[in-house]
Structure formats: C-alpha cells, structure tokens
Structure 1
Amino acid sequence: MVASTQGSPKQRQANTRSTGARARRNAKRAQRRSASKTVQSDLQASLRSTTSYASSTDPSKVLDYYATTASLFRFKQRDRCVEELSDGSAKPAACRWFEDNAPNPTPIHRLLQSQLEQTVTKVLHSRGLIDRLVAWSQLDRSAQPSEVDLLRDLEEVITEHSEHLAATWASLLRVSSDKAPECSIRATLTKALLLATKRPDDLEDTLICDEILRGCGIGIDSPIPSTGLWPSDKGPKHSGFGLCLSAATSWKNYASTELYRDQVQETLDREVAKGHMCRLLGCPDFGVVTKLACIVKPSGALRLIDDLRRSGVNERVLSEETVALPGLATAALLLQEMKQRVPQAELVWIEADIASAFRHLPVCVDDRKYLINCVNGCYYQHLRLPFGLRCSPLFWCRYFAAVHRLVKRLAPADPSTGAGMIYVDDVAWITTRESSVSMMVRILLVQATLGLSIAYEKLRITTRPHSLGYEWDVSESTVYLPVEKRTKLMDELKVMLTSGSSKIPVALLERVTGRLTWATQIAPMYSSDLNPFYGLQAVARKHNLFKVSLGPKVLTSASLFYDLLKIPDMAATTASQLLGWGVPDESGTVVVSDASLFGIGGVIFDLEGGPSADLTPQTLTWFSVAYHDVPSIQDLVPWTTATRESEIGPLELLACIIGVVHALRRGARMITVLSDNAATVACMNRKRARSQRMNDTMRKLRKVWPQLGYTVVAEHIKGITNGLADVLSRSTSGTADDLMCGLGQRFDPSSLIRELVNLTL
C-alpha cells in the first residue's frame, strides 16, 4: 500500500520522519537537558545555602553554569536549524537532510544502486569524458559554459545511457518504462523507484505520479489533496476578481504584449510545436481567457506571463498544501555540515538546472478551458502547467522533490557524497572535489532517466557558486551580494534620494523594498530599518496609488542602505552568521550581563574548549559600573528616580551591548548572550524591539561595529541562576574586586559608553 493514501493528514504527519532518527535526536536532547538541570540544581542549592546575597554567589559555580548553558544552547541552535529549515523537498519536519543514504538497503535497493553506479562508470569512460570533465571542473565558473563540445557530448552520452538505465530499472522492478501519455516523464517508473527505496516508516508522495499519468487537476473542480509532506496552504493572496467573461474581444493583453505582438505569437506557436499548447478555433464553453504580459530576457527571447490572478483563476484554485522553499540558511547548513563531516577535503558546489520546469507536467483535459490566451484573434490553450498558475509550483516541486529524494537514496552512503537542496528547478549539491564529477553524472542520469529536460549549458562545478541570487565562497563559507546586483540597487536608491520634492513611481518603491528585503538576509541587524519602506508600501497599496512622496524616515533609511552598499565588506557575511552557530559547535564567546537600579555588570569569556574550559585572565573579563560613577549612561537611557525601574529593559540591553562590543573588539565572531531579561533576549535575536529606546541602542551597536560576518544569539536564563552578573550590577567597585579576585581581568567600559553617547543615529 502507498503510505500517502492512508490516514488523515494529522496521522500521516506524525510519520514524516523515521522513528529511529527521532529517538536518537530525543535521546541527545534528554542527555543535554539532564546535564543542564544538574548544574542548575547544584547552583540553586548553593544560592539557598546562605542568607547574604553577595556571599551566596560562588563565582566558580555560576561560571560553570554559564559555560554549560551556553554550550548546550549552541547544540540547541543547531537542532533548531535542522528542524526549522527546508531543503526544498518537503516541509522542515519531513526533510531527511543527511539521512537519506540508507545504511541498510534492501536487496532490490542495492541492485538499483549497482545499476546506477555501473552506468556512471560507462558514461565517464565514453568519449574520454572522465578526464575532460575533471579538467572542465577546474575551470573558472564563468569559463565552463564555453566548453560547448564537452557539454554536447555529455548530453548525448547521458541521453543514450539513461534510456538503457530506464529499461534496466524497469525490468528489476517489473514495471513499464514508458513515458506518461501527455509528457516525457516516466511516472510509473518513478513511483516504483520511490516505493522500492523508501524506508518502512517513510511517508512518500506517489500521488504526484498518478497525477502526471492522468493530467494534473488544478484545484478548481476539486481541491488538490494533501500529501502530508508540505506546509498547509493559506489560500490565495489576492481575491475578489471573479472569473472573466469569455468574450476575448473585450479582454486585451497588456501593453508589453501589444508592443511585441508578432514575437509573442511566434513564441506561442513554438509552444504549440513543442506540445505545450494547442491552437483553438474559438474560446470553448466556460473558457477563461487570461491576459498576457511579456518581458525581454537578456538573450532577447520573450518570457510570457499569464495573469491568472486578474482572470480570477488563481483565487479559485483550492489546495491543501503549498511549497516549502530553501533560503540562504539552508545552503549555510549544508556547507557547515559538510565541513564537519569531511574536514580535510576540498568542497565544491554542483549547480544544475531543469529547462522549462513547469512545462514538463500535463494539465488534465477538463481544466484546460481555464488556461486560454488570445493574440491577434487566435486562441491558444495550455496543455502543460503555465507560469503564473498558483498551483504550478506545488505540482512541479512535488515531482522534483521525489526525484531529489531518489538521488539521495541511490547515491553511495559515504560522507564524501555530500548533500544538496532544490529551489524550484535548480539543484545545489555540495560534495568533495574528488567525488564531484561522479556525483554530477549521478544526478544527471537520474534526472534524464526519469524524463526531465536538463539545461546542460547551466551546469557548473565550482567553489564560487551562484545560488538564490547570491555568490558563495565555499572554501571560506562566505556569501556575497553580487556586484552587479549591488550596483543596480544603489542606482535605484540614488534615484529615491535625489527625487527631492518630486513623487516617485510606486513600482520603484515596490522594487527597492523587495530587493532590500532580499539583501538584508545577509545583514539581519538592519532589517528594522526597512519598516519605513513597508509602511509607505502599505499606504500605496491601500489607496491604489501610482506615485508617492518620500518622507524623512524613508529617506533616512534609504541613505543608510546606500551608504552600506558602498562598502564591499557590508555586502558579505558568513555561514555561521546565517545559522547562529559555528564549527565546532562549542566554540565562541559568551556574554552574560545584568542591570539593576544601582548599575550594570557582566562577564565575558571564551568557550573554545567546551563547557569545562579553564577560565583565565586571557579568556575571562568582567565589568561592574555604578550609574553615579558614569553619569553619561543617563544620556543613553534617560530616567528619573521615579522612572528608572521602568527603564530596566533598555538598561539590560545596554549592559548586553557593552559586553558584545568588548567581545567583538577582542576578536570574537561567534557570541552567545545569556540574560534574565526576556525583552533583551528577544531584541538581540530579532535585531529589533517594540521599544524605540532599545531600537536606538541596537543602532548604536551597528554604528560602533559597522561590520558583518559575526553572530550574536541570545538565550534566556532564570534570574536566580544569573547571580554573578546580578551581583556585579549591584556592587561597589571594591565589593566587585573582592568577589572576582583571581578570576579574570576587569575592564572599564566608561570610554565605550562615551563613544556610544557621541554616536549620532
């Protein structure tokens, strides 16, 4: 029986990961919680054993608790990454990551793997491809597409051997290797492979293979059913349009289409020749004509866009699920994991792309009437899923995710094989230099065998890949904003900054806001500065404006981003910063701080050796400042005697920032903050707060340390366990010195406080 056809969605969801893997993860977490509770219990018992608050604080025990808590938090950060990120093949809870290389394959699974490996060997020894591909992989990324003869030979050899592999696999599985009636995909073979290679407790989406065989129902006459592998769909973003009248004479295409009318029709005729569309004599009964827009690609070809939102089709599409796409953090996770698994190996990144992805999948006959275009009085009907249909990404991602899972299951169970992610029609696979050529051929063979059209001109093996619009440096685990995109964004910001009293088009505002939102993925510290853009964008949408005036807040934010983009170092960050944890997991610096009505205090120490590291003056520093000794603190957080208690949140954040800046200046790049103030923890993790004063303090941090490539993550601890930082915030200078005698080195933050005061926002 197919797992995906049984049980309710909630029942199916419970089995999306293997029981064994879940048990192993839970056992590790229980062990960590037990260790943390033991240290915490000992600490609390110590604190209750005396009546004097200061004397009850044993610095050694508190520091041991801090170190243990920070180390365990690092492991929790890694678990959180795995649990909250998707590799593009399913929702986060259903992603296998590095677990799909089955350690104990069944006999049929081993036979399928063996046939694939034999075919990989045959491909590499055809036409001298192995030496040619190794040499090609050493070329600069920009030079690889120019090897046209090699890529053509590779395509021909892959095509030839994939046909034989399809027949061999089909014979082993006793199924047909025929392609689906309406497309090139071998859906029957795909389904058999999925069932033959999955683990007994795995949930698998074989329903997509059935959809392809009969044609995909787009969810108008009946909802697209749940598989249990993807997130729940929240419905269409836009509604209220309703289905348009079928009279095409009253339904004109967009101006871009009218401008290139003849070229648009030629493009449609080519789609007809490929079998993706057909021509009709007229609009069928209950048919829906969709307006067309087009954009010119860099190559000069046209990209046609069906506006199925305004034709009312998209709002009628009902689906129980939607896609889960990977982000930069997913790529960072894969890279960090591979560096841990094969620490001595040179890593490379395989880039692969599927041509005309959505056009692989057929639309069921009954739903084709909703997908009609009209150009020059000629009617065209989509036979394959079009770009712009709300459910097209889901259908495609479901099938491509199945192919991705097969690649992982059929690849050798060796750490050097690597792992990858998919973003709609793109594959990104990180592996070792030594395994890269074989792994690329393995990916291509599986894709071609199952009937996918590969864009061979986009193949790359590189240490400087382009992924999700960014450029990576694999050896340094660094991600960059590409120069051309940075320049384009700066040009658009300059238009806004020089607009003066003139209004700017809302289209420009939308474009800049979207690009800044994308760009701040590598600079989350600046995400709060996008709020003025979002506010103006909301006003423009609410009132259907075509042009808007820029207020002072928007201009201030635009100027900030323009200045940042001018600095190359501000357009790059690290994988560790994206994830909030580094390699090894326990490395980094810990900052623990507190504030009271008397003053602020904290400790900073390195955790390079793990929870039991020796704390010396070189690795442990601390501070203790009374407000009356440094009056300039009040310039940062103004208060009166009556309001000081209500300002404790901003004061807690200030103490934290002092510790973080001190850690950064002594070379830290991975910082864990422990605080008993929930608002401070939330602000450090979200990089913004509801309090304007706390937001201003965060901006001061950015001003005093205007660099990227560092990570600050915060964890909340109970007040009773934060005794050391608390006592330092309440102590006079002499008391603090006595308490910390022989433990680390004191530093005076007064000059840093003055520096923060003098910074202008």
Structure 2
Amino acid sequence: MQAELNNILTEAVDEVRASPAGKFLAGWVKLSREDQANFSDSWTGVEEEIDRVASRMRDRWCQALGCSNRQSLSGSPLRVPLLKSLLSTWRGGAAEDESILDDVDSGVNIEVRYPISRSHIWPEYSGSSISDYYTVSSFEKDAFVNYQSAEENPEQVERELEKAVMKGHMVKVGEELPPGHEDAVVSRVASIPKASGSWRIIDDMKRSGLNTLIKMRQHMVETICLPTMRAVALLLSLALSWFSADAVIIELDAKEAFKHLRISSLDEVFVYNCAPGSKTLYRHLRLAFGCISSPLLWVRAFSLVNRVLCAALQLQCIAYIDDTSFISNSQRAFEDLVAIVLFHTAVGVISELRKARVSRTPRLLGFQCDLSKEQIDIPQDKLSGIAELGETVLAAHSRGEPVRVRCVETLLGKLMWASQSCINFRCHLGPVFAWCKAVKKRQSRRDGKARDGIRKNNRDHTAYLGRAAQSKIRLLLSVLQCEWLRARSITSVLGHGLLRGQSVVISDASLEGFGGTCCVVDSAGERHRWWFAVSFDDSRALSLVKAVVPSFLGGQQFTSDDVSCLELVALVVGLLIIPREYTRLPCTLLSDNTSAVAAINRSYSSVPRMAHILARLSAVRRGDRRIQAFHLPGIDNEVCDGLSRGSRPRPAAARVLGSFVDVSSILSTLSNARVNGLGPFVVEE
C-alpha cells in the first residue's frame, strides 16, 4: 500500500513539474533566500495548480485506501478519514495521538466543560497560580472597553473581524446575546500589526476569566513541548551530515493555523468579543488567539500530520506552532517542496506559499542560520529592535525619569530569547527579573489589584529603574553587539555529544559547610574521582565563601535563608573542580535543592544573590549547554550530606571517593571574578 500511495504522489509531483506553475517553482528554488521574497505576488497560479493536483491525488489516495475524502464533520478543512488511514498505513504500531482526530471531527473541546482526551505523548500540564482570578463585575461588563491598541485602530480591527466573518471563522451576533448565551464570556481585544500589513486580533481571555476557568477546573492535563535552539542545531547538523555542501532547508508556514480547527458548538458561549467603539458582539467559530488551550489543540493535530508526512516522504523536520522546516538538498529541493505542499493540501492543511523559502540561510525559530558557515546567529533586524527598545529604557533612566514597566517586560522577553545565542550571559537577566517582580508586586498592593471589584489597566504603570537592572541591561546590549560572543557554531550549541565520556557532580550544603564528589569517565573509559569539603568552622574558608555569597542578614553566621545560595555555590565549585581537558564532556549535576537545580538549568535566577553567583560562574567559565542539573532526594545523598556537616570519610571510603581537592583557590577566583564585564571565560590554573 505504501508503494502505491508513493507512486500516486510521485505522479502528482510530475504533473506539477510539467505545468507553468512547476516551471516557475523549478526556477524559484534556485534563487537566494532574499530573491525568493521578491515573488510574493506570483503565487496565485501556483496555489491554484497545487489545489487542483492535490484534489485529484486525494481522490486517488482515498480510493486506494478505501476511505472517505470528506472534510471534518465539524467544518474543519482537515480530512479526518484520510488522515486516519494514512496514520494506520505509515505509523501503524507506533504510539500515536489518534484521539485528537476524533476531536477535530466533532469540533474541539476547549477544555472548559470537560478534559480533552489525552495524547499520552505530550508532557503533563502543571499549570500556574490562579490566585489572580477575579469575577468580572456587572459594572465592568457595562463599561466594556477594548485595549488601547484596538481602540486607537477601530476601523482596522472591525475590518479584520468582518474578514473573519466572511471566511466563516467568526459570526457577527449584534448588540444582544442570543438566548442561552446570557452568561457568555466576552473578552476584550488587542490588535497587533503583522508584516503583511494586516492585523492580528488577540482576545484577552485571561482577564475575561476564560483561561482561569480552564485552570480552575483542571481540565487541561497536557501541554506542548516546543523546539529550542538546540533542535535547530540538530536539524542543521543532520542536513550537513547527509548532504554536506548540497544541503538546504525548506521553510513552510501553515496559513492561519488556529483557524484550521472548529470549536465545539457547546463551547461557543465562551468565545465572544466586542468591536471597538461599538456594542457589536462577535463569536468565534474557530480556535481563538488568547485561549490557553488553543496552542495545544492545534499543535497536537499539526504535529500528527507532520509525523505521518515525514514517515511517508522519508524526511526530517522541526515544527514550531505553524512553522515547519525540512531537510533537503539542492538536487531534490523542487520535488521535496512540491511533495510536502501536495501532502499538506491533500489532508487539509492550508500552506502560506508566499512565505515559503528554500535556502542554505534559513531563519529557524527566529534565528539566522547559515549552513555554509555552520553558524546560528541573531538576525540584524531583531538586533536593531532589541537595541532600540533597550536604548529607550536606558535613556529614560539617564534623564532620571521613570520607565514604563510594560516596556521593560517586553525588553526582558526579547533579551531572554536572544540569550539563547549567548547563554554565558543569561545569568545577568536575574536583576531585571527581580526588578520586574518587585515593581509588579508593589503595584499590585497599591492598586488593591481589584479594588471595589474593578481591576485597573496596568498598561501605563511606570517605575524608576533600579541601578542593578540598568547595569545588566547595558551589559547585555553590549554583548549582543559582539558577533564573536553572539554567533554560535552548530557544534557549540549541540555540544560534543558523540564524544564518549561523562562527568557527574553531586553536592550538598548545610549551615555548617558544604561538600561534594566529582567523577569523570573519559573517552577511554577511565574513571577519575575527586571530593571536596568546606567547613564554616574554618575562618579563612568562611571568609572566602562570604566573599562569593554574603549572608542574607549580614551576620557572622549563615542562616536557613542562605541555604539555597550555599547549595548553588557547592554545585558551582564542584563544576569548576573538573579539569579543563574534560569540560567538553556532558556534565550532570545532582543536588537536593530545587532552587539551585532550577538556577543551573535556566542559567539565570530572579533571586539577586543566586543571579550574582551565576554571574561569577559565567565570568570564569564559558556557558555550556552540555550541563544539566537534576534533583536528588536528600535521603539518597548521604555521602555529600556528611561532607557538608563536617564528617570526613574513613581512609577506605576516601580512596573510593578519589583525591581530596582544596577549593580555596576556586573560591578565591570566584570572589575576584569581574561580574559586570565580558571577562575571561576559564579559570586560570
């Protein structure tokens, strides 16, 4: 059956090749990525040809498989019977998420009334605090106002709403709610301009209470897991290993991704919004931007489509919400591009062909990649945007003026994303996180958060930027201007995963001291072990530790408030004990302190003292993606617990632990580290 289906697909590709649209595509794929963008007005004929050929191919596939070629019963364009048959043909026996297809067919449940069926292949959803839930008062409903971005552009917003009605994505209700929907959830809208010139309308379903309703009922049991910069590096590495200088990446977008899925008619009561400047109500018929469950529902369906596609076409790809990137080569780029688009169209996924690209310099997850240089960098337009926003914040601070909190939060988000490219400096985000957290907490108390049942809009809240946050923003902006710090080789992102060997650090800390063990298994299989212990009864050792992490209360002795910082110092010291020749090996850190584990894995902390410790580490050791930390229950960490409390191993046990290391020099190096500059990257030994 697979061979028959592949033959039908091959014939369809050949049919496109022989058409005028195919001749255009054959020349287009040979252009540079920049030149490909100049043909955005030339795709109408291509789309029509693809639709025509894909429709015939779909009919032949369905005939061969003995299934219906219908669209979903709900009105979604996805062809559920065909997808189920293709899934059985190419993914039969594999753990798959077939249940999402039944939900698509009947209309997806947005998880208010009852949980959606589990996929068993996506991570569990842990949720977040719902303490900010509040009930919308009658006054608020009567005084309904959209966000400023929508109120300032009422004509554009209404035009987009009417377009959605014409496409069948929404329905115009009027000024009165229909019978049975008297208690409808009506969300305010914000508008965001898109590069295409249109506007994206986003419903604020957090403040309308819908998202909190989903959380409170605990119906959302899974969440998505999106690819990261490391996934991009892996895709590029595979492309180079398979095709070397001929490797290219095919980039495709799904058009209006969320609008592929129809909402269950029983859930339409939860998805109303209102046009700015009027009382006209609109109701969503398709998944809405702003609903907390929308990304999961779409990604489950779209990723299933792409898993079947990759199995059928023998391709590899990564998918980020609606963006997909496939490995190909210059000889097969045309065939692969056409086959992918035909497959998507046949099963009901509508592609945005005007955004398609085939090149050796793809943009993946926002990063500028270059297969020739084997490099991942931040695009210049994004760098300029970050720099412009950063200078706006710093200029206000220099004038002694308060800055808009929302502006700093936006800058923080952009810096967080950009720091993937210069992971060594992510630790410097800590003071900015801490400032935002403190300002929001203070503003929350000041406003009473929902005084008299009314929540104030915090869009224009301002505050004076702290000195530490200002200093770190300035440093990070400087780092992003340095290509040698910012641009990453594919190998440096992935790490030397093919190298044999592993290193492990296990540590513990108490109010009496800290200690740990280190073990390296090198590429030859030889084991090397060390252990360390620091007692706070030793005044010299205590002074060195305090130079790295001052006690929280500033006293002579550490208290329980200092334990997390001490646990982090113990991990850092253990990491720095490992000799330089083994730093390319993957390293696993184990600790019974969850805060220290989280700080290592995120490379930053909103706790200022922990952020400062990470900054010291980054100043003496290059940031490394091969480091991972895990929580080790204290009951399983007896050896290190004893070392942290002054217990020393007997000679026989000491021989097993390896060589004792006096860490005074490491503590001294950390205490003298230059944490506000670009600094050295390795410990000088």
TM-score by length of 2: 0.74
8 Å CA contact retained: 2:16, 2:49: yes
Q: Secondary structure at the match of 1:279?
A: strand
With over 3 angstroms needed to count, the CA separation of the structure-2 counterparts of 1:758 and 1:169, relative to structure 1, is: closer
Q: Of the candidates 244, 258, 265, which is equivalent to residue 358 of structure 1?
A: 258
CA distance in 2 between counterparts of 1:246 and 1:234 reads 34
8 Å CA contact retained: 2:262, 2:285: yes
Q: Partner letter of residue 332 of structure 1?
A: A
TM-fit CA distance, 1:123: 2.3
8 Å CA contact retained: 1:272, 1:278: yes
CA distance in 1 between counterparts of 2:265 and 2:607 reads 57
Q: Partner letter of residue 355 of structure 1?
A: K
Task: State the match for 2:246 in structure 1.
Answer: 346
Q: Secondary structure at the match of 1:291?
A: strand
Once the two structures are overlaid, the 10-residue window that deviates more, 351-360 or 562-571, is: 562-571
Q: Deviations over 1:254-274 (max 9, x none)?
A: 232222222222222221111
Task: State the match for 2:385 in structure 1.
Answer: 488
Once the two structures are overlaid, the 10-residue window that deviates more, 449-458 or 309-318, is: 309-318
Task: State the match for 2:552 in structure 1.
Answer: none
Q: Partner letter of residue 473 of structure 2?
A: A
TM-fit CA distance, 1:211: 2.4
Q: Of the candidates 240, 264, 280, which is equivalent to residue 378 of structure 1?
A: 280
Q: Deviations over 1:85-115 (max 9, x none)?
A: xxxxxxxxxxxxxxxxxxxxxxx23322332
8 Å CA contact retained: 1:670, 1:710: no
Task: State the match for 2:297 in structure 1.
Answer: 395
TM-fit CA distance, 1:119: 2.0
8 Å CA contact retained: 2:429, 2:604: no
Q: Aligned pair 1:169/2:61, yes or no? A: yes
Q: Deviations over 1:123-172 (max 9, x none)?
A: 23333836x54543332211112235764443233212100111011111
Q: Secondary structure at the match of 1:306?
A: strand
Q: Partner letter of residue 162 of structure 1?
A: A
CA distance in 1 between counterparts of 2:58 and 2:473 reads 55
8 Å CA contact retained: 1:572, 1:708: no
CA distance in 2 between counterparts of 1:517 and 1:456 reads 31
TM-score by length of 1: 0.68
Specify which structure has the bigger relative contact order, considering alpha-carbon pairs within 8 angstroms and separated by 6 or more residues.
1
Q: Aligned pair 1:240/2:240, yes or no? A: no
Q: Secondary structure at the match of 2:420?
A: helix
Percent same amino acid at aligned positions?
24
Task: State the match for 1:155 in structure 2.
Answer: 47
Q: Of the candidates 41, 56, 80, which is equivalent to residue 187 of structure 1?
A: 80
Q: Secondary structure at the match of 2:248?
A: strand
8 Å CA contact retained: 2:573, 2:666: no
Task: State the match for 2:30 in structure 1.
Answer: 138
Q: Aligned pair 1:272/2:165, yes or no? A: yes
Equivalenced residues, count: 602
CA distance in 2 between counterparts of 1:573 and 1:467 reads 14
Task: State the match for 1:77 in structure 2.
Answer: none
Task: State the match for 1:35 in structure 2.
Answer: none
Task: State the match for 2:649 in structure 1.
Answer: none
Q: Partner letter of residue 551 of structure 1?
A: G
CA distance in 2 between counterparts of 1:611 and 1:148 reads 55
With over 3 angstroms needed to count, the CA separation of the structure-2 counterparts of 1:177 and 1:490, relative to structure 1, is: same
Let me know the Cα RMSD of the aligned residues: 4.6
With over 3 angstroms needed to count, the CA separation of the structure-2 counterparts of 1:686 and 1:429, relative to structure 1, is: same
Q: Aligned pair 1:218/2:110, yes or no? A: yes
Q: Of the candidates 476, 488, 491, which is equivalent to residue 573 of structure 1?
A: 488
CA distance in 2 between counterparts of 1:759 and 1:575 reads 28
CA distance in 2 between counterparts of 1:404 and 1:277 reads 27
TM-fit CA distance, 1:296: 2.4
With over 3 angstroms needed to count, the CA separation of the structure-2 counterparts of 1:561 and 1:197, relative to structure 1, is: same
CA distance in 2 between counterparts of 1:377 and 1:685 reads 48
TM-fit CA distance, 1:724: 11
8 Å CA contact retained: 1:593, 1:725: no
Q: Of the candidates 143, 146, 149, which is equivalent to residue 250 of structure 1?
A: 143
Q: Partner letter of residue 403 of structure 1?
A: V
TM-fit CA distance, 1:332: 2.1
Task: State the match for 1:283 in structure 2.
Answer: 177
Q: Partner letter of residue 234 of structure 1?
A: S
Once the two structures are overlaid, the 10-residue window that deviates more, 347-356 or 689-698, is: 689-698
Q: Of the candidates 207, 216, 223, which is equivalent to residue 322 of structure 1?
A: 223
TM-fit CA distance, 1:382: 1.7
CA distance in 2 between counterparts of 1:211 and 1:691 reads 43
Q: Deviations over 1:281-329 (max 9, x none)?
A: 4311324232222122234322211122222222223333222222212
8 Å CA contact retained: 1:177, 1:186: yes
CA distance in 2 between counterparts of 1:121 and 1:603 reads 60
8 Å CA contact retained: 2:58, 2:346: yes
Q: Aligned pair 1:670/2:581, yes or no? A: no
Q: Partner letter of residue 283 of structure 1?
A: L
TM-fit CA distance, 1:727: 4.4
8 Å CA contact retained: 1:572, 1:709: no
Once the two structures are overlaid, the 10-residue window that deviates more, 427-436 or 349-358, is: 427-436
Q: Aligned pair 1:428/2:428, yes or no? A: no
TM-fit CA distance, 1:426: 0.7
Q: Aligned pair 1:209/2:101, yes or no? A: yes
Q: Partner letter of residue 72 of structure 2?
A: A
With over 3 angstroms needed to count, the CA separation of the structure-2 counterparts of 1:309 and 1:725, relative to structure 1, is: closer
With over 3 angstroms needed to count, the CA separation of the structure-2 counterparts of 1:529 and 1:116, relative to structure 1, is: same
Task: State the match for 1:541 in structure 2.
Answer: 440
Q: Secondary structure at the match of 1:120?
A: helix
Gaps of 5+ in 2: 445-457, 508-514, 531-539, 548-555, 558-562, 641-651, 677-685
Q: Partner letter of residue 68 of structure 2?
A: S
8 Å CA contact retained: 1:704, 1:756: no
With over 3 angstroms needed to count, the CA separation of the structure-2 counterparts of 1:236 and 1:691, relative to structure 1, is: closer
CA distance in 2 between counterparts of 1:126 and 1:133 reads 10
8 Å CA contact retained: 1:336, 1:583: no
TM-fit CA distance, 1:505: 0.9
Task: State the match for 2:524 in structure 1.
Answer: 611
Task: State the match for 1:516 in structure 2.
Answer: 415
CA distance in 2 between counterparts of 1:561 and 1:458 reads 32
8 Å CA contact retained: 1:243, 1:313: no
CA distance in 1 between counterparts of 2:191 and 2:158 reads 11
Q: Of the candidates 443, 461, 467, which is equivalent to residue 552 of structure 1?
A: 467
Q: Aligned pair 1:582/2:496, yes or no? A: yes
Gaps of 5+ in 1: 1-107, 595-599, 623-631, 732-748
